Structure 1
Amino acid sequence: MEKFNDNNFCLILAGGKGKRLWPVSRENMPKQFLDFFSVGKTLLQQTYERMTKIVSPENILIATNRDFVSIVAEQLPQVPKANILGEPVNRNTAPSVAWATCRVLHRNKDARLVVVPSDQMIMEEGNFEKDIQAGLDWVGMNDGLLTMGVKPTRPEPGYGYIQMGEEQSDGGNIYKVKSFTEKPEREFAKVFMQSGEFYWNTGLFLARCDYLRECLKKIFPPVLRMIDAEEVEYTLEKEVKCIEEHYSVYPNLSIDYGILEKSDNVYVMRCSFGWADLGTWHSMYETMSKGEGDNVVLSKRVMLDNCRGNIVKLPDDHIAVLNNLDGYIVAEKGNVLLVCKKEDSSALVRKYINEVQMSEGEEFL
């Protein structure tokens, strides 16, 4: 087996609340920690295993909320404690990347980083490994932020889109990014798909860490300055203390909005791996293979009678008998059952979460 490149690092983002997949994804056990498809591994475990084929396991970091550190340690006992970044407050993905970049640079000044969400489905693992490796090689030689784009297979309004600009002379299916569009209306998504210029934004991005640090400095307050300066003696304890005391100063920014949409040197690689974001019930339905009546059943004991276009996810010890349902989500976990139309379900689920929280309290979230 070919030895891993010691300059390659990976950050897995595992701090989200997964609210759009409520009630199966809950506050105390979000989707990344669930075995959604009954395959014996959670989404986080699948992501970690996938990345160990590309990056040395000792170079894989996990960013999560402090409340979930024990869950990460339990699901990934092989990961060193120092590689789990437990954020004291939720501040979206850009602060997570800033912290990880600092940690990695103190380990390797030539490091290249691939940032990976923990809630994705990859259909073609071999192509994924090839594309990520090519991307890491490219950012190692170029000042730039590299996103990974996948050709749309449907006009999906729940995804982000990247418009490709000029192709780069060094090849590798890499293009300058012309624009980002987040979750367009369905009609715009159709236009994007037909144009051939737009690719889905997978949320995967790569950069050389020293270049990424300079980009982050332009948008963030100097939370890590007391350990980032060359003349200061660095220790892991000092770094953790900085995070404890100052992390809340970071703005609540996604890496897409905070860095990628505001930088001049952003590129996209046209990738060949099959991909799906598992962020909403609708995207889950579109991704999964359909059974009789175009239904998606993610449970063991479900009887469907004259039902079409539904997605069903119940505890394995429950039995469901459904009659005459067309285009619904039926999802149950613990003390909550959700039955609602699949169309526009992302907005509906957010609405219901807020209403349940106000009327019934946190225990149902």
Structure 2
Amino acid sequence: MAGGVGSRFWPVSTTDFPKQFHDMLGTGDTLIQKTFTRLSQIIPKENILILTNEVYNDIVLKQLPMVKQEQIILEPAMRNTAPCILYASLKIKKQNPDAVMVVAPSDHWIEDEVQFCANLQHAFDFCEREDNLMTLGILPTFPNTGYGYIEFDKLDSRPVKKVKQFREKPDYATARKFIQSRNFLWNAGIFVWSVKSVLNAFQEFQPVMFDHFMKGYDDYNTSKESDFIKENYPLAENISVDYAILEKAQNVFVLPATFDWNDLGTWGSLHEKLDKDENNNAVVNARVLLENASNNIIRAEGKKLVVIDGLDDYIIVDKDDTLLIYPKSKEQEIKTIVSKLK
């Protein structure tokens, strides 16, 4: 899934060029390139589909030159994750009704790729045998209020746990209780299931959406598909796959992941993963002179010289004709700032 805008990473991430197409970590690869490389360790490259907005088609082809046009599933409108997953699942069913699939965001940071592949194979094996829906959960390291949580059955001693319920982003006190109870995981938004299982779930819990996309089933993977999707995709309900099916289904399981993970959703989460100086400042593409400065993330273009005195816990980003100087404690509000600027 590579269709999001990533507005909390403004001004680097913009509607024209979202964060998944940027080298956010300064590694030499963009986030979508790293995701494709990671998945291709366990999935044939020709079996990887990229779901993105139609305006990003050329960017995807440029950054992933090994991908064919038919592997890029273009959305003519932003309708959250449920419609794009249903659409892709129906296309896959026409190719292989026995397929098992993973749904992965294109903008996550995963360090231990060997463990990631091992977890993914475990999930594939489980979903090949059972009519179940699976998600990968991340063991919480602190009471994060920016993630959703997955509650699993405490008494379940199996490696794969039965999900009791999904919980929305909590306040700090609730997040602390989740951590202390030891049967909550962060919801990473990485899903594994057979095509048959996920389509059965959509048919049961989202019959209107299912019927809507089934109208074009004969056209999928043909020259007629584009016209059907352009006309009908924008009419689909704007809803996440969590709300649409996962919170309703009774056959949902979670595998506690054994790899390090970060959703890279905010400047603060990026700060966690970058190298830092002795005062916990992280610097990307800039030359700096820092006095009485700590816990900041500083990003500039073209190795610009940045001089800072007396700032603690700030986001400082210089991009084209925009300069952002913003408290990290208020980073969730950057999305609102972007809306006001529009």
The verdict on a shared fold, with TM-score over 0.5 as the criterion, is yes
Structure 1 window deviating more from structure 2 (183-192 vs 270-279): it is 183-192
Name the residue aligned to 2:192. Answer: 206
Q: Which residue of 1 aligns with 2:110?
A: 122
Per the TM alignment, residue 350 of structure 1 is displaced from its structure 2 partner at its CA by 1.9
TM score, norm. by length of structure 2: 0.95
- Give the C-alpha shift of residue 26 in structure 1: 0.9
**Alpha-carbon distance change, 110 to 296 in structure 1, aligned in 2, over 3 angstroms:** same
In 2, the alpha carbon distance for the partners of 1:168 and 1:239 equals 44
Report the residue type matching 2:298 in the other structure.
V
Which whole-Å CA distance do the structure 1 matches of 2:85 and 2:272 have between them?
30
The residue aligned with 2:324 is 338
Q: Does 1:327 align with 2:313?
A: yes
Q: 2:336 is matched with which residue?
A: 351
Report the Cα offset of residue 166 of structure 1. Answer: 5.7
Letter in 2 for 1:336: T
**Residue number in structure 1 paired with 2:80:** 92
Residue among 18, 40, 62 paired with 2:50: 62
Matches within 5 A, 1:189-268: 189-217=175-203, 218-219=205-206, 220-221=208-209, 222-228=211-217, 235-268=221-254
Structure 1 position 356, deviation (Å): 1.5
Q: Is the 8 A contact 2:93 2:99 kept in 1?
A: yes
* Matches of 1:339 and 1:31, distance apart in 2: 19
- 1:360 maps to none
SS of the equivalent of 1:143 reads coil
Cα deviation, residue 168, structure 1 = 5.9
Shift of 1:88: 0.6
Q: Which amino acid aligns with 2:175?
A: A
Kindly state the Cα deviation for residue 290 of structure 1 after the two structures are TM-superposed: 3.1
Map 1:259-338 onto structure 2 (within 5 A).
259-338=245-324
User: Residues 97 and 234 of structure 1: is their aligned pair in 2 closer, same or farther, counting only changes over 3 Å?
Assistant: closer
- Partner Cα distance (1:54, 1:294) in 2: 36
> How many residues are matched?
339
Q: CA deviation at 1:154?
A: 1.5
Deviation at residue 255 of structure 1 after TM alignment: 1.5
- In 1, Cα distance between equivalents of 2:142 and 2:285: 26
Q: Return the offset for 1:287.
A: 3.5
Report the alpha carbon displacement of residue 300 of structure 1 after superposing the two structures with TM: 3.3
* RMSD of equivalent CA atoms: 1.6
Q: CA deviation at 1:265?
A: 1.1
Letter in 1 for 2:143: P
**1:241 CA displacement:** 2.7
SS at match of 1:314: strand
Partner of 1:156: 144
In structure 1, C-alpha distance between the alignment counterparts of 2:77 and 2:193, rounded to whole Å: 25
Instruction: Structure 1: give runs of 5+ residues left out of the alignment.
Output: 1-12, 358-365
CA displacement, residues 298-332 of structure 1 (integer Å, 9 cap, x when unaligned): 23312211111111111133111111101111112
Q: Which stretches of structure 1, 4 residues or longer, exceed 6 Å deviation after superposition?
A: none
* SS at structure 1 position matched to 2:104: strand
1:183, distance to aligned residue in structure 2 (A): 1.8
| Amino acid of the structure 1 residue aligned with 2:242 | D
Following superposition of structure 1 onto structure 2, how do residues 129-144 of structure 1 map, counting pairs within 5 Å?
129-144=117-132
Letter in 2 for 1:137: D
- For residue 35 of structure 1, the aligned residue among 4, 20, 23 is 23
